[in-house]
Chain A
Amino acid sequence: MAVLTEEAASDGGTAGAPSRPRAAGRRGRRTLLIAAMAAALLALCLLSAGIGAYEIPVGDVLGSLLHRVGLGGARLDRVGESVLWNVRLPRVVLALLVGASLGCAGALMQGVFGNPLAEPGVIGISSGAAVGAVGSIALGLSFFGNWTVTACAFAAGLLTVLVVYALSRSGGRTEVVTLILTGIAVNAFAGALIGLFVFFADNAQVTQITFWQLGSLAQATWPKVLAVLPCALAGLAVAPFYARKLDLLALGERPARHLGVDVERLRITLVLVVALLTAAAVAVAGIITFVGLLVPHLLRMAAGPGHRLLVPGSALGGALVLVAADLAARTVAQPAELPLGVLTALFGSPFFFWLLRRTRRKQGGWA
């Protein structure tokens, strides 16, 4: 009984003063989470750079890296150095960029639509961007050199975001059903366009398109990294500055405006950023679904829905998932390589089911 009253008393105390210790504890946990994810990512990158048909011990990977930046360390032998720097590292960096872009784009998308199901893959933006990329391959376009595929993916992705946005919103809200149905329609249309391009492409292009479509980082090279770097970095650098406004947008459009958010401008900016990030990912790696859905969800469960953590955290988490997935894709069926997109969908779809069931149980589904 004494314990009970004491508890009640302390509860009353924290209720009066909004829980500073608890808030501080939460912040501490969030910092820890980010630090843990960053450490895991670093370890995984080193591991991924070492593992493969030609094994390089992690210590040697680190040594070679330090050597290149001039902080001691040591060169590997000629083959090792070449494998590490021309094959493995571009691939790891590309996985980092693509994963971060997908994770971040997912978090932004869900924030802008105020809807946890919005994800570039689910609502058709990835396939929209894919149409641009496939088109540029099939038509043999090269007006921007290395950047052509990325540029086309961006243009097509942007157009798709705008179409989805216009079609699925009414009266300042997006209903889940409308959003998903719009996604189905957009995906179907994009699939048809891709089919048309494949139909008109020659054999070599068809092979290229098919492999690209499955989602893979197999042909990673530094020029490819350079081709997506500007898009991805620009998107990732801009996104965190909108975190606070995205929090306010969760209240709805009018309340967000009442709190001083220029909603129109916020939306247009973020749609641009999402298109940039999605294009960057799709252009090099094809359609990789579920990363943008899965990562923000897990983070929300672990650390709450605040976007100040969610946006950079999703970029970090996305990179983590993709580096891990790519490592798995090229090692589990050695010497063959699983397509990355197939792998993420294989693990992502069950998660999606689980999410649906959980939401149905808790709140009777999405309205």
Chain B
Amino acid sequence: MIKSFFSSRIRALPEPAAPGVPLAEAVALRVRLGGRTVLAEVGLGVAAGEVLALVGPNGAGKSTLLAALAADLPAESGEVRVAGRPVADWSAPELALRRAVLPQSAAVSFPFAVEEVVRMGRAPWAGTPAEDADDDAVREAMAAAEVAEFAERPFSALSGGERARVALARVLAQRAPLLLLDEPTAALDLRHQELVLRVCRERAAAGDAVVVVLHDLGLAGAYADRVAVLHEGRIAADGPPERVFDAALLTRVYRQPVEVFPHPRTGEPLVIPQREARAGR
């Protein structure tokens, strides 16, 4: 009884959103970090059932935008809304039921076992009816991220790529309708990069909204419904990959000449840096 008193403060549970309903929005968002304007006049939304990729060169503000959507960073002006309400109006426990965040690098202070780490993702649901689904959610998430085989190993004994997948499993286990993933593929091999983005697609198909920061434009082109290109703290382009992946735009944004051409079989846009033919081949 005492336990239930402490764990189940009154919080409204999220209701499933219809496809197309915006789950996170930035409106005229301006964020300053260390005296520098990192984001300016950013307007961006992500709807239920959609995978949105944030791409752009280093320092363009991708992670900052994701952190702002996650309510980690305060807006200097403008507004961030999650599930239709300004983030400042949500309490931390309420927000945890509505969005899950994968940080760029995962660390755990003590030698928790992998399964325990994944189970931490269920913490927001403690004391709600959804608590009963804890075991299922953990099992499913571990299977999806292919980490079940080292469920018993301590997190600290894993390689970088394995840690990244465990962190992803924890985020998936949270079963929040909005997923914010900061470079989930950075430490992963080819197979697991594809796996992560397939999982993103599955979650979107199930009605969640997914925002994913990517460096690999090929992955963004293949899996995202929409791509937003960030450039110097502003959105340079926002739309479906085939429209956004314009050679002139990407060349300007990345300060690197690129070529864009359709994949010979699937037709999806491929972005390749322009390279000189090497002598002797």
Please indicate whether A and B come from the same complex rather than being unrelated chains.
yes
Listed in ascending order, the chain A residues whose CB lies under 8 Å from chain B are 15-19, 22-23, 114-116, 241, 244, 247-252, 254-255, 257-263, 300, 304-306, 363
Distance of A254 Cα from B102 Cα, bound (Å)? 10
| Contact residues in B for A241 (Cβ distance below 8 Å) | 6
> Which partner residue on chain A sits nearest B135 by CB separation?
A18
Q: Are B152 and A260 in contact (CB under 8 A)?
A: no
Assembled-state Cα–Cα distance A160/B115 (Å): 37
Q: Is the CB of A259 within 8 A of B123?
A: yes
B residues 113-170 with Cβ under 8 Å of A? Answer: 113, 115-117, 120-121, 123-124, 126, 135, 138-139, 142-143, 148-149, 151-152, 156, 170
Chain B 1-32: CB-based contact to A (< 8 A → 1; otherwise 0): 00000100000000000000000000000000
Is there contact, CB below 8 Å, between B123 and A255? no
Q: Is residue B60 contacting chain A, with contact meaning CB distance below 8 A?
A: no
A348 to chain B: closest CB distance in Å?
21
A255: nearest residue on chain B (CB-CB)? B103
Given contacts A15-B151, A300-B111, 11 further A-B contacts (CB under 8 A): A18-B138, A19-B151, A248-B120, A249-B109, A252-B103, A254-B103, A257-B72, A261-B123, A305-B110, A305-B111, A306-B116
By a CB distance below 8 angstroms, the chain B residues around A259 are 96, 120-121, 123-124, 174
Given contact pairs A248-B120, A258-B101, A18 touches B142 in the complex (Cβ within 8 A): yes
17 contacts between A and B (CB under 8 A): A15-B149, A247-B123, A250-B110, A251-B109, A254-B72, A257-B92, A258-B70, A258-B95, A258-B100, A258-B101, A260-B123, A262-B91, A262-B92, A262-B93, A304-B111, A305-B110, A305-B111
Q: Look across to chain A and name the residue whose beta carbon is closest to the beta carbon of B7.
A: A244
Closest chain A residue to B112, Cβ basis: A305
B-side residues, CB < 8 A to A, are: 6, 70, 72, 91-97, 99-101, 103, 106-113, 115-117, 120-121, 123-124, 126, 135, 138-139, 142-143, 148-149, 151-152, 156, 170, 174
Q: How far is the CA of A23 from the CA of B115 in the complex (A)?
A: 10
Complexed CA–CA distance, A306 and B92 (Å):
22
Q: Complex: how many Å from CA A219 to CA B108? A: 44
Contacts of A116 in B (CB 8 A): 109-110
- Shortest C-beta distance, B151 to chain A (Å), equals 5
B124 and A260 contact, CB distance less than 8 A: yes
Contact residues in A for B108 (Cβ distance below 8 Å): 250-251
Chain A residues with CB below 8 A from B149, complex form: 15
Q: What is the minimal beta-carbon distance from B95 to any residue of chain A, in angstroms?
A: 7
In the assembled complex, the Cα of A350 lies from the Cα of B174 at a distance in Å of: 43
Cβ of A156 to closest chain B Cβ, rounded Å? 28
Distance A251 CA – B119 CA, assembled complex (angstroms): 12
CA distance A17 to B156 in the complex (A): 22
Residue of A nearest to B97 (CB): A260
Instruction: Assess whether B139 is in contact with A251, with CB atoms less than 8 Å apart.
Output: no
Given known pairs A18-B139, A244-B126, A304-B112, the reply for A258 and B96 (CB within 8 Å) is yes
Task: Check if A252 sits within 8 Å of B101, measured CB to CB.
Answer: no
> Which of chain B's residues have a CB closer than 8 A to the CB of A257?
72, 92
* A363: nearest chain-B partner, CB-CB: B156
A15 to B93, CA, bound (A): 31
- A268 CB to nearest B CB, Å: 14
Residues of chain B lying within 8 A (CB to CB) of residue A19: 115, 151-152
* B123–A18 touching, CB < 8 Å: no
Residues of A contacting B110 in the complex (Cβ-Cβ under 8 angstroms):
114, 116, 250, 300, 305
Would you call B115 and A18 a contact (CB within 8 A)?
yes
- In whole Å, how far is A285's beta carbon from the nearest beta carbon of chain B? 28
In the assembled complex, how far is the CB of residue A331 from the closest CB belonging to chain B, in whole angstroms?
A: 36
In the bound complex, what is the Cα–Cα distance between A155 and B124 (angstroms)?
A: 35
Most buried by A among B97, B109, B126, B156: B109
- Whether the pair B109, A250 counts as a contact (CB closer than 8 A) is yes
Bound-state CA distance A116–B110 (Å) is: 8
Contacts of B152 in A (CB 8 A): 19, 22
- Give A114 to B156 CA distance when docked, in angstroms: 14
Q: Which residues of chain A are near B113, meaning CB under 8 Å?
A: 304
What are the nearest 6 A-B pairs in CB distance? A260-B96, A305-B110, A114-B109, A260-B93, A250-B109, A258-B101
Chain A neighbourhood of B101, CB < 8 A: 254-255, 258
> Which residue of chain B is the closest to A300 with respect to CB atoms?
B110
A255 proximity list for chain B (CB < 8 A): 101, 103, 106
- Could you say which of B96, B110, B113 has the most chain A C-beta atoms within 10 Å of its C-beta? B110
Could you tell me the distance in whole angstroms from the C-beta of A324 to the nearest C-beta in chain B?
26
B123 near A115 (CB under 8 angstroms)?
no
- Complex formed: what's the CA distance from A156 to B46 in Å? 51
Q: A299 → chain B, closest Cβ, in Å?
A: 11
- Residues of A with C-beta under 8 A to B143: 16
Do the beta carbons of A115 and B109 come within 8 Å of each other?
A: yes
Contact A260 B92 (CB under 8 A): yes
Q: Are B123 and A248 in contact (CB under 8 A)?
A: yes
Inter-subunit contact B112/A306 (CB<8 Å): yes
- A309, B109: Cα distance in complex, Å: 17
A309 to B16, CA, bound (A): 36
What CA separation (Å) do A16 and B147 show in the bound complex? 10
A311 to chain B, nearest CB (A): 13
Contacts of A252 in B (CB 8 A): 103, 107, 109
Nearest chain-B residue to A262 (Cβ)?
B92
Hey, which chain B residues are within 8 Å of A251, CB to CB? 106-109, 117, 120, 170
Q: Nearest chain A CB to B155's CB is how many angstroms away?
A: 9
Best-buried of B94, B120, B121 by chain A (most CB within 10 Å): B120
Q: Please indicate the chain B residues that have their CB under 8 angstroms from the CB of A247 in the complex.
A: 112, 116, 120, 123
| Cα separation A305 to B115 with both chains bound (whole Å) | 13
Chain B proximity of A257: nearest CB distance (Å): 6
Whose C-beta in chain A lies nearest to the C-beta of B2? A241
Within the complex, which residue of B97, B126, B139 is in contact with A17, where a contact is CB–CB below 8 Å? B139
